């Protein structure tokens, strides 16, 4: 009885809701049309209305202005979006949101550039939601918007923000990224999704493989980190994607480092795009709350510096960038074994996706050090903030620098960054300065440096897989420098390859095959690691931005003051002395330091000096020519040369021993096989079941017996061995075989 009554009520409710929605859309369309900002204008130049000014329709056909407003609820947005924003605690707009939303809500194409961490994500997600809402997009309409991100982690992050802000809308959205196994399931549902957040590769995979996958109705295309996606690396994929999208669509491009290349934009067929670069006039290209520093660090001392830095900042969240995956793996594995006292994690593109996502969220949650390649350099917003960004290897260009340091000091929080430059990369400082990046050249407080290369040497002796990782790290680093396009900054020939390999704990310098013989011979000899950087002369020094003091205040920053010293102009007697001091300082192992050898790998040999203090295993070798000698560079080099010489015969011995062991093992296996076949019976040996059996049999007789008469080849010899398989036990056979082997080797 109740049912028939309830139906009309329900229908009434929906009818009412539909009308409201339609009315809302109508109102929004009129409001947007009424307050359209002039094409080419920047709404940021308009003063925001007073807080008590009316919002929406004022009377008849007039509406409140929205260009220039500073709060989301003053924009012509659907109630669902306003409520979604409020629930996610977004009330006031950031500059890029204020500048771009009035234009993008009108349906215009946007090229948006703003500093890292300035809120570009909402600047493109809101117009996507609003456009589809106003078009009353539903499940049967299929894909209405595609948001492309260069990395999986970033796509995942965008998807989370979309879910949070758009949770009151009824659109279906999907995350399509590589590395996920459920591609089959994705294929079944991808056509039902309204908003796709994806990486270029996975999207293209669906375009190629998924039957009936249709993107011909796409209304809004978004490229986050647009300059990266338009880069050569994604060129083919992007061209293929664009060819399957309708020409009439809205396109939104955002990045902290925007492209203006006409060629790039022509590929996207933008229509009169609004170029909104909100921080173009700003004094700096990086966030204002970011304190940026650089240090000249000889290549062979980078790991000493990094290790010391980590040990001095055990309560921080530190993101460390390297040039290659192999370096990330080596340093992560090595430092993990040395136990610095803070959790270590690593992230690179070859990790499986689940692990990648896990590491990303773990790093968001707790204090730790994350070693990463540039896979984490763009867009990622670690929710509890990153305290330090350390660039152990120089970024490939200024844009890469901006994105890397942009992982800290996001939105309204502060952050700090350190860039390590080898002396030959000092040119990078000038490039950063030209790009309006306020970076201060500092030098390390060498008293607090803790050398780590000797510990690495010990590790490599103990763990053979570490040696392999170190070799790979060495080669890939040199290769990455060799491949860099900017030859003003990167010159592989200026790198002290041998010293570098020693600093990784390698006794022998690996061969660098990708450099031809001629080039190899030109690789810098060891002493160039201490050569002056190009900024050594007074003239150039004055061009490098300096700060008199790093502004530090908190308790933790006292540690920084101890570890990092700003180079004051008074100190600049000449870069030569300073760099040399840094160079030597990091190599000096003061006895005092060695007394507490807390970094010793677990289970490693402990060596004591005459006073009963513990020393790292190789410290003894270092000191045996007299304590003061290590203070001299020549002696240090001599020591390493000696060490290498000492290691050479040991390496040979190891190889011989290894070969011998393999032989013994093979011999034992064969003996076992023989005794097994004997147990199985004569007929097996004489039978001709398979070719393999025949082969085995003939091989056996070749090794153990004189082929015809069953006598050993060594007859007549003192150690002659003559045996018959039937007459002796397996143990005896093994003993005899070993004896035979020994006699052969002797
Ligand atoms: N209007 C806002 N009010 C408060 N917080 C905001 C607002 N907009 C963005 N944020 C916060 O600012 C942080 C950075 O935002 P977002 O990730 O969008 O920056 P971005 O400009 O895309 O950075 P990147 O260039 O590194 O990709 C995020 O934590 C986000 O939640």
Closest-lying ligand 1 atom to the alpha carbon of residue 94: 1
Where does the pLDDT of residue 95 fall: very low under 50, low under 70, confident under 90, or very high at 90 and above? very high
State yes or no: pLDDT of 620 exceeds 80: no
State yes or no: pLDDT of 420 exceeds 90: yes
User: pLDDT: is 328 or 382 the higher one?
Assistant: 328
pTM: 0.71
Q: How far is the CA of 218 from the centre of ligand 1 (A)?
A: 26
Decide whether any atom of ligand 1 lies within 6 Å of the 122 Cβ. Answer: yes
User: pLDDT: is 737 or 630 the higher one?
Assistant: 737
DSSP string, 292-342: EEEEE--GGGHHHHHHHHHHH-TTS-EEEE-SSHHHHHHHHHHHHHH--SS
Residue range 221-230: average pLDDT? 94
Residue range 661-673: average pLDDT? 83
Decide whether any atom of ligand 1 lies within 6 Å of the 94 Cβ. Answer: yes
Q: How far is the CA of 117 from the centre of ligand 1 (A)?
A: 5
State yes or no: pLDDT of 571 exceeds 50: no
Residue range 723-732: average pLDDT? 45
Decide whether any atom of ligand 1 lies within 6 Å of the 116 Cβ. Answer: yes
> Which mutation among 223, 410, 417 tests ligand 1's pocket best, with the greatest number of atoms within 8 A of CB?
410
Residue range 355-375: average pLDDT? 90
Q: Is residue 125 within 8 Å of residue 162, measured between CB atoms?
A: yes
Cα–Cα distances in angstroms (integers) from residue 517 to residues 474, 520, 522, in the given order = 18, 5, 9
Decide whether any atom of ligand 1 lies within 6 Å of the 228 Cβ. Answer: no
Q: How far apart are CA 610 and CA 626, in angstroms?
A: 13
Tell me what pLDDT residue 323 has: 96
Tell me what pLDDT residue 366 has: 82
Closest-lying ligand 1 atom to the alpha carbon of residue 411: 12
> Percentage of the chain with pLDDT > 90?
52
Where does the pLDDT of residue 449 fall: very low under 50, low under 70, confident under 90, or very high at 90 and above? confident
Q: Which residues contact 517 (CB under 8 A, 6 or more apart)?
A: none
Q: Which of 663, 670, 700, 672 has the alpha carbon at shortest distance from 685?
A: 700
- E strands, 556-637, are 564-566, 607-608, 614-615
Where does the pLDDT of residue 516 fall: very low under 50, low under 70, confident under 90, or very high at 90 and above? low
DSSP string, 673-699: HHHHHHHH-HHHHH--S-HHHHHHHHH
Tell me what pLDDT residue 642 has: 79
393-407, 456-470, 546-560: segment of lowest average pLDDT: 546-560
User: pLDDT: is 720 or 325 the higher one?
Assistant: 325
> Which mutation among 74, 89, 119 tests ligand 1's pocket best, with the greatest number of atoms within 8 A of CB?
119
Decide whether any atom of ligand 1 lies within 6 Å of the 381 Cβ. Answer: yes
Cα–Cα distances in angstroms (integers) from residue 253 to residues 149, 216, 414, in the given order = 11, 20, 27
ipTM: 0.99
DSSP string, 645-671: HHHHHHHHHHHHHHHHHHHHHHHHHHH
Nearest CA to ligand 1 atom 25: 116
Task: Kindly list the strands in the beta sheet with 250-255, ordered across the sheet, starting from the edge strand earlier in the chain.
Answer: 173-176, 195-198, 145-148, 220-224, 250-255, 110-113, 274-277
DSSP string, 256-275: SS----HHHHHHTT-SS-EE
Residue range 690-705: average pLDDT? 33
Decide whether any atom of ligand 1 lies within 6 Å of the 102 Cβ. Answer: no
Nearest CA to ligand 1 atom 7: 119
State yes or no: pLDDT of 26 exceeds 80: yes
User: pLDDT: is 182 or 662 the higher one?
Assistant: 662
Tell me what pLDDT residue 730 has: 55
Decide whether any atom of ligand 1 lies within 6 Å of the 118 Cβ. Answer: yes
Q: How far is the CA of 157 from the centre of ligand 1 (A)?
A: 11
Q: Is residue 141 within 8 Å of residue 193, measured between CB atoms?
A: no
Q: How far apart are CA 644 and CA 623, in angstroms?
A: 16
Tell me what pLDDT residue 364 has: 83
Where does the pLDDT of residue 448 fall: very low under 50, low under 70, confident under 90, or very high at 90 and above? confident
Rounded to the nearest 10°, the torsion over CA 503, 506, 508, 511 is -90
Residue 8 host element (H or E): helix 2-35
Decide whether any atom of ligand 1 lies within 6 Å of the 219 Cβ. Answer: no
Closest-lying ligand 1 atom to the alpha carbon of residue 383: 29
Decide whether any atom of ligand 1 lies within 6 Å of the 407 Cβ. Answer: no
Q: How far apart are CA 603 and CA 338, in angstroms?
A: 11
Q: Is residue 617 within 8 Å of residue 458, measured between CB atoms?
A: yes
- Residue 271 has, within 13 A of its CA and on its CB side, a CA count of 11
Angle at 533 between CA 530 and CA 538, to 5 degrees: 125
Q: Which residues contact 724 (CB under 8 A, 6 or more apart)?
A: 710
Residue range 146-175: average pLDDT? 96
- Burial label for 736, CB within 10 Å (0-12, 13-18, 19+), is middle
Q: How far apart are CA 620 and CA 38, in angstroms?
A: 76
Decide whether any atom of ligand 1 lies within 6 Å of the 265 Cβ. Answer: no
Tell me what pLDDT residue 671 has: 81
Q: How far is the CA of 211 from the centre of ligand 1 (A)?
A: 37
Decide whether any atom of ligand 1 lies within 6 Å of the 112 Cβ. Answer: no
Q: How far apart are CA 486 and CA 524, in angstroms?
A: 19
Tell me what pLDDT residue 669 has: 82
Tell me what pLDDT residue 659 has: 86
Q: How far is the CA of 412 from the centre of ligand 1 (A)?
A: 9
Angle at 609 between CA 603 and CA 613, to 5 degrees: 70
State yes or no: pLDDT of 733 exceeds 80: no
Decide whether any atom of ligand 1 lies within 6 Å of the 119 Cβ. Answer: yes
Tell me what pLDDT residue 180 has: 74
What average pLDDT does the chain have? 77
Nearest CA to ligand 1 atom 14: 117
Tell me what pLDDT residue 564 has: 60
Q: How far apart are CA 719 and CA 741, in angstroms?
A: 11
Residue range 670-688: average pLDDT? 52
Q: Is 508 in a helix, a strand, or coil?
A: coil
144-148, 199-203, 335-339, 360-364: segment of lowest average pLDDT: 360-364
Decide whether any atom of ligand 1 lies within 6 Å of the 72 Cβ. Answer: no
Residue range 305-322: average pLDDT? 95
Decide whether any atom of ligand 1 lies within 6 Å of the 66 Cβ. Answer: no
Where does the pLDDT of residue 580 fall: very low under 50, low under 70, confident under 90, or very high at 90 and above? very low
Residue range 515-533: average pLDDT? 44
Where does the pLDDT of residue 388 fall: very low under 50, low under 70, confident under 90, or very high at 90 and above? very high
**Which ranges constitute the DSSP H helices of 91-248?**
95-105, 120-134, 152-165, 183-189, 200-209, 226-229, 232-242
Closest-lying ligand 1 atom to the alpha carbon of residue 381: 17
> Which mutation among 73, 286, 411, 414 tests ligand 1's pocket best, with the greatest number of atoms within 8 A of CB?
411
Most confidently modeled of 205-214, 573-582, 688-697?
Answer: 205-214
Residue range 80-103: average pLDDT? 97
Residue 361 host element (H or E): helix 353-365
Q: How far apart are CA 447 and CA 562, in angstroms?
A: 9
Where does the pLDDT of residue 742 fall: very low under 50, low under 70, confident under 90, or very high at 90 and above? low
Decide whether any atom of ligand 1 lies within 6 Å of the 256 Cβ. Answer: yes
Decide whether any atom of ligand 1 lies within 6 Å of the 93 Cβ. Answer: yes
User: pLDDT: is 744 or 447 the higher one?
Assistant: 447
Rounded to the nearest 10°, the torsion over CA 537, 443, 528, 433 is -60
Which residues in 390-414 are b (16+ Cβ under 10 Å) and which e?
bbbbbbbbbbbbbbbbbbbbbeeee
Q: Is 149 in a helix, a strand, or coil?
A: coil
């Amino acid at each position: 009885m109740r049912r028939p009554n309830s139906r009309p009520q329900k229908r009434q409710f929906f009818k009412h809701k539909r009308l409201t929605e339609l009315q809302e859309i109508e109102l929004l369309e009129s409001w947007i049309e009424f307050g359209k900002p002039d094409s080419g204008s920047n709404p940021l130049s308009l003063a925001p209305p007073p807080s008590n000014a009316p919002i929406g329709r004022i009377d008849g056909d007039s509406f409140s202005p929205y260009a220039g407003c500073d709060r989301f609820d003053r924009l012509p947005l659907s109630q669902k979006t306003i409520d979604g924003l409020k629930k996610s605690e977004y009330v006031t707009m950031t500059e890029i949101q204020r500048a771009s939303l009035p234009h993008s809500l009108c349906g215009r194409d946007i090229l948006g550039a703003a500093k890292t961490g300035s809120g570009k994500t909402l600047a493109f997600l809101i117009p996507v939601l609003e456009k589809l809402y106003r078009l009353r997009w539903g499940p049967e309409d299929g894909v209405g918007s595609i948001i492309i991100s260069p990395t999986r982690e970033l796509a995942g992050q965008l998807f989370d923000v979309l879910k949070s802000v758009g949770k009151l809308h009824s659109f279906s959205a999907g995350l399509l990224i590589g590395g996920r196994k459920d591609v089959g399931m994705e294929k079944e549902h991808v056509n039902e999704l309204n908003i796709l957040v994806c990486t270029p590769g996975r999207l293209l995979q669906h375009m190629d493989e998924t039957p009936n996958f249709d993107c011909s109705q796409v209304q809004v295309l978004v490229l986050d980190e647009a300059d990266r996606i338009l880069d050569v690396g994604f060129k083919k994929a992007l061209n293929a994607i664009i060819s399957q999208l309708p020409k009439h669509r809205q396109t939104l491009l955002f990045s902290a480092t925007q492209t203006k290349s006409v060629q790039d934009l022509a590929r996207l067929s933008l229509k009169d795009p609004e170029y909104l670069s909100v921080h173009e006039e700003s004094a700096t290209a990086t966030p204002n709350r970011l304190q940026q520093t650089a240090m000249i660090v000889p290549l062979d001392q980078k790991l000493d510096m990094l290790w010391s830095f980590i040990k001095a900042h055990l309560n921080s969240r530190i993101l460390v960038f390297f040039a290659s995956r192999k370096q990330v793996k080596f340093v992560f594995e090595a430092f993990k074994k040395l136990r610095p006292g803070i959790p270590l994690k690593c992230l690179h593109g070859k990790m499986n996706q689940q692990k990648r996502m896990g590491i990303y969220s773990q790093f968001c949650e707790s204090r730790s050090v994350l070693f990463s390649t540039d896979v984490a350099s763009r867009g990622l917003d670690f929710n509890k903030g990153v305290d330090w960004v350390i660039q152990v290897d120089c970024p490939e260009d200024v844009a890469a620098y901006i994105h890397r340091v942009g992982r800290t000091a996001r939105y309204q929080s502060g952050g700090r960054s350190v860039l390590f430059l080898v002396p030959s990369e000092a040119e990078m400082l000038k490039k950063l300065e030209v790009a309006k990046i306020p970076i201060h050249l500092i030098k390390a407080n060498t008293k607090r440096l803790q050398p780590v290369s000797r510990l690495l040497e010990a590790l490599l002796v103990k763990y053979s897989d570490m040696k392999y990782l170190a070799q790979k790290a060495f080669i890939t680093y040199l290769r990455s420098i060799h491949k860099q396009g900017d030859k003003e900054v990167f010159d592989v020939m200026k790198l002290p390859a041998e010293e570098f390999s020693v600093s990784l704990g390698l006794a022998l310098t690996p061969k660098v095959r990708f450099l031809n013989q001629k080039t190899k011979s030109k690789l810098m000899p060891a002493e160039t690691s201490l050569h002056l950087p190009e900024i050594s002369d007074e003239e150039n020094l004055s061009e490098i931005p300096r700060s008199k003091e790093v502004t530090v205040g908190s308790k933790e920053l006292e540690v920084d003051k101890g570890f990092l010293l700003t180079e004051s102009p008074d100190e600049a007697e000449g870069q030569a002395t300073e760099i040399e001091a840094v160079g030597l300082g990091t190599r000096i192992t003061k006895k005092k330091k060695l007394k507490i050898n807390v970094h010793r790998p677990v289970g490693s040999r402990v060596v004591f000096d005459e006073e009963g203090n513990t020393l790292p295993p190789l410290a003894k070798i270092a000191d045996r020519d007299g304590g003061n000698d290590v203070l001299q560079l020549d002696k240090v080099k001599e020591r390493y040369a000696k060490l290498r010489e000492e290691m050479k015969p040991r390496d040979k011995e190891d190889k011989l021993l290894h070969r011998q062991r393999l032989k013994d093992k093979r011999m034992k296996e064969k003996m076992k096989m023989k005794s097994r076949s004997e147990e199985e019976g004569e007929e097996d040996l004489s039978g001709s079941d398979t070719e393999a059996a025949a082969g085995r049999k003939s091989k056996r007789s070749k090794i153990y017996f004189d082929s015809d008469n069953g006598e050993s080849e060594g007859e007549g010899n003192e150690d002659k061995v003559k045996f018959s398989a039937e007459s002796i036990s397996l143990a005896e056979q093994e003993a005899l075989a070993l004896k035979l082997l020994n006699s052969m080797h002797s």
